[in-house]
Structure 1
Amino acid sequence: MKRVVITGVGVVSPLGNDVDTMMDGLAAGKSAVRRMDEWSMYQGLHSLVGAPAVLENEKQIPRQNRRSMGRLSLFAAQAAKRAIDDAGLPEELVASDRTGCAVGSTMGSAASITETFELVLPERDISQLPSTKFFQCVSHTAAMNISQYLGISGTVFAPSAACASGLQALGAGYDLIRCGRQDRVLCGGAEELHPTVTGSFDVLFATSSHHNDSPETTPRPFDKDRDGLVCGEGAGILVLEDRELALARGAKIYAEVLGFSTCGSGAHISQSNADAMVRCLKQALRESQVQPSEIDYISAHATATVHGDVEEAKALQEIFGDAVPVSSLKGHMGHTLGASGAIELIASLAMMERNTIAPTLNLENVDPGCEGIQHVFKPLEKQVNTIIKNSFAFGGINAALVCRKI
């Protein structure tokens, strides 16, 4: 098996469209959550908060490519270009059939899907649809559009596992490289904020609805007063590469990917399950040949749902006790769903580089069910060499990735 390293990162986040700006926002304890007044037209929507990103300079993408991109694909394309530039990959390597793309999302562009129904349904007239609308709506829109935009001719994967999509994409890229099928893979996830997306969680009673007039105070991961998640948007793309090839070309290496695991719970369609989380985390550690005591930081999934945070805390307590710092970045950026695993991994790599761990924003009083782990309440200066990133999705889909500084 080949060794796999991370050589490039690119991000579009609610806290900014480059890594330094995002990390400055985390360091300052900034919240990107705001009241979405434009959503008040939707009857029955209780949560009116979201964490939007800024779409800028999209016209730098050629119109021929841009026409088939919805908002999430534009985010993904921009983050992918930044990751390639950061990795210093020349055009001939990007376009090689030894370069792949694995980028996931919860679904296609929510805005484009909504527009499609609004165009077609009044008169039941399919002819009203623009020819490119389909390419914005399909579930593999981000991976497809990135590969077309950048000329990628290797393997193209599009994991679609809700909140685990981005981390599953990284796992897919990791496997492709270590098995020798690809030399490098652009991996990550993308998502866009839309009232229909928040509404999907709203009808499941999973959204924050008590902080519409004080958006900066929600979500509240692990806090006893949490009342649900806040949807966000953006994209995170990482370049994974064969370690020997990366060293040969003198690439900067952020970290080595040591192990990955993903599994289902088979227990409940919407309720998290601590036993399945434990199994997933142990599998990732076993593959990494890393002991729990060697982990320096855990980037928790913790979305501030009442049930999910408790189950995750139980799983982490069983494996790590209170010996390892744990924080969730959802308080700062909301839950970027299919992009969250990748965006938060990029932030974790920056913490590793800076040896400073960002706290869980809005965590003031730990829920009794979330005790027994080492919560981070303020920026923590600590040597960070080995990290684990978690993503836990509806459908009982769990994912965990272990990385170590080289």
Structure 2
Amino acid sequence: MDQKISITAMASISSLGSSPDEIWQNYLHDKSFLSLGNFEKFEAYVGAISEQGNKEIQKLKEADPKYKNLDRSVLMAMLTSRKAIAQVDWEADFGVNIGSSRGATELFENYYDRFKEDVFGKTATLTSPTTTLGNIASWVAQDLQTSGPDISHSITCSTALHSVLNGIAWIRSGMSKTFLVGGSEAANTAFTIAQMRALKIYASDKQADFPCRALDFEKESNTMVVGEGAVALCLEKGVSETALAVIEGVGYATEELKHNISISANAECFQKSMKMALKSANLSTVDAIVMHAPGTLKGDTSEFNAIQKVFGENIPALTTNKWKIGHTLGTSGVLSLELAVMMLEHQQFVAVPFSKHSKEPKQLKTILVNSVGFGGNAVSILLSSK
């Protein structure tokens, strides 16, 4: 990549917590933060935000009458964006790109349930304006009073890393000096989980210490678990003195679909995206890879096969966070990016305790982050310590 980009601030909320210290400490525990939830017709594991995190969301919701009708995904994006922007000294013309795979999931489902029950087929006045995908970035921009562009989009589970790509493109084009990017997903609903169960990819073992066995290549069944979370990152041009990490390269690719949900056995899209991100780097300098690894049989294996194709016998240390927090769908890529930034900052590798491929790296200077979603849209981002 011709122009390096700095990540100068970062904030998130997930089942790991909502403060950097809490999140990092929870990463150091060899335990899952997935919990069993009751969804009326069935029980299922989810990655749910903590009680303290929910209090923060509720406090924000009650702070302004306009916010009471907003979806949880919008509130989470606003909360993390406020925290990220509080860490930088930006003029009020920065851009905002917060994406989501599913958008206002809970609110949309609630409105639809009420519509079905209404004898006249009526729905609430604010149904349409509060459930459109553009709500997320628009409300973040409104809340922060920025005059820059605001963008929301959905590219399935690679959505948030595409937000990072968009922010980089705007900065490199000269159309914006700074960009707030990220993702927000609040899809821990019965209908969403039922959809994943219909695909036969959801975790079913209710006694397991690790319900999601992401990066376990010896598992005999699919173990994906849905989680919720939001992340906001501040991007600036060049290598900033205040950089948490530096984006050295980016890659993206799609591949021809053979099935509605799957990528090829050797994940050609990942091979292309990783090679693009590593175009100006020596493969031997990559110390670790934060894999997408959703915990499914084909998803984990195909990405690993792609890594083997690209790196040969010199495979870097591999890790993922989905065994801890679940698959946060559109947010998952930036939560993986957050893990990479934290490992670089603390110079400590967070391994997957049950994975034979989660070896300890000799050093941590450069980390590759992968993300992909339905449709074969892969993104890879190469990070380094400043």
TM-score normalized by the length of structure 1 = 0.87
Q: After superposition, where does 1:240-319 map in structure 2 within 5 Å?
A: 240-243=235-238, 246-247=240-241, 252-268=242-258, 269-273=260-264, 274-286=267-279, 289-319=280-310
- For residues 361 and 286 of structure 2, what CA distance do their matches in structure 1 show? 15
Deviations 1:182-225 (A, max 9, x none): 1111111111122222222111111111x1233x3210013212
**Is the 8 Å Cα contact of residues 65 and 149 (structure 1) preserved in structure 2?**
no
**Is the 8 Å Cα contact of residues 10 and 234 (structure 2) preserved in structure 1?**
yes
Deviations 1:346-373 (A, max 9, x none): 111010011111012443xx5xxxxxxx
**Cα separation, partners in 2 of 1:283 and 1:381, compared to 1, 3 Å:** closer
**Cα separation, partners in 2 of 1:126 and 1:5, compared to 1, 3 Å:** farther
* Counterpart residue number, 1:239: 234
1:325 aligned residue (317, 322, 326): 317
Cα offset for 1:140?
2.5
1:187 aligned residue (168, 181, 200): 181
Deviations 1:116-153 (A, max 9, x none): 1111122364644142x434321233212211111122
| Aligned sequence identity (%) | 23
* Counterpart residue number, 2:160: 166
Amino acid at match of 2:162: Q
Cα offset for 1:30?
2.6
1:220 aligns with 2:213: yes
Deviates more, 1:395-404 or 1:223-232: 223-232
* Counterpart residue number, 2:47: 51
**Is the 8 Å Cα contact of residues 229 and 328 (structure 2) preserved in structure 1?**
yes
Amino acid at match of 2:257: A
**Is the 8 Å Cα contact of residues 108 and 136 (structure 1) preserved in structure 2?**
no
**Is the 8 Å Cα contact of residues 366 and 385 (structure 2) preserved in structure 1?**
yes
Deviations 1:337-396 (A, max 9, x none): 111111121111010011111012443xx5xxxxxxxx216xx47431111110011111
**Is the 8 Å Cα contact of residues 2 and 177 (structure 1) preserved in structure 2?**
no
TM-score normalized by the length of structure 2 = 0.91
SS at match of 1:22: helix
Amino acid at match of 1:257: I
- For residues 79 and 30 of structure 1, what CA distance do their matches in structure 2 show? 25
- For residues 125 and 399 of structure 1, what CA distance do their matches in structure 2 show? 46
SS at match of 1:376: coil
**Cα separation, partners in 2 of 1:311 and 1:85, compared to 1, 3 Å:** same
In the comparison of the two structures, how many residue pairs are matched?
373
2:199 aligned residue (200, 204, 214): 204
**Cα separation, partners in 2 of 1:126 and 1:263, compared to 1, 3 Å:** farther
1:139 aligned residue (133, 144, 150): 133
1:100 aligns with 2:100: no
In structure 2, list runs of 5 or more residues that go unmatched. none
Q: After superposition, where does 1:101-120 map in structure 2 within 5 Å?
A: 101-120=96-115
SS at match of 1:49: strand
- For residues 57 and 22 of structure 1, what CA distance do their matches in structure 2 show? 16
- For residues 103 and 236 of structure 1, what CA distance do their matches in structure 2 show? 9
SS at match of 1:207: coil
- For residues 157 and 376 of structure 2, what CA distance do their matches in structure 1 show? 11
Q: Say what the alpha-carbon RMSD is for the aligned residues.
A: 1.9
* Counterpart residue number, 2:16: 15
